[in-house]
Amino acid sequence: TRRFYSVGEHSFRVGRHLWIAYPELSAELRACLSLLGYLHDGSEAWLMDLPSPLKRNKVLVWGYLVAEARLEARVEAQFAPGVRAKLEAAGVDVQAAIRHADLVLLATERRDLMHPGGPVWQALPEPLSGSISETPCTGADFRDNLRTLYALIGLPFPGDDVLQTNS
Average pLDDT, the chain: 87
67 DSSP 8-state letter: H
Q: Which residue type is seen at 77?
A: A
CA dihedral 19, 158, 153, 43 (to 10 degrees): 50
What's the CA gap between 102 and 32, in Å, rounded?
Answer: 16
Query: Has residue 11 got a pLDDT over 60?
Result: yes
Query: Has residue 166 got a pLDDT over 70?
Result: no
Residue pLDDT, tens place only, 84-119: 999 999 999 999 999 999 999 999 998 888 877 776
Question: Within 10 A of 68 (CB to CB), how many other CB atoms are there?
Answer: 20
Query: Has residue 163 got a pLDDT over 60?
Result: no
> What global pTM score does this model have?
0.87
The separation between the first and the last C-alpha atoms of the chain, rounded to the nearest angstrom, is 22
- Nearest by Cα to 76 from 48, 95, 49, 91: 95
Query: Has residue 44 got a pLDDT over 80?
Result: yes
pLDDT bucket at 45, cuts 50 / 70 / 90: confident
135 DSSP 8-state letter: S
Look at 21 and 167; give whichever has higher pLDDT.
21
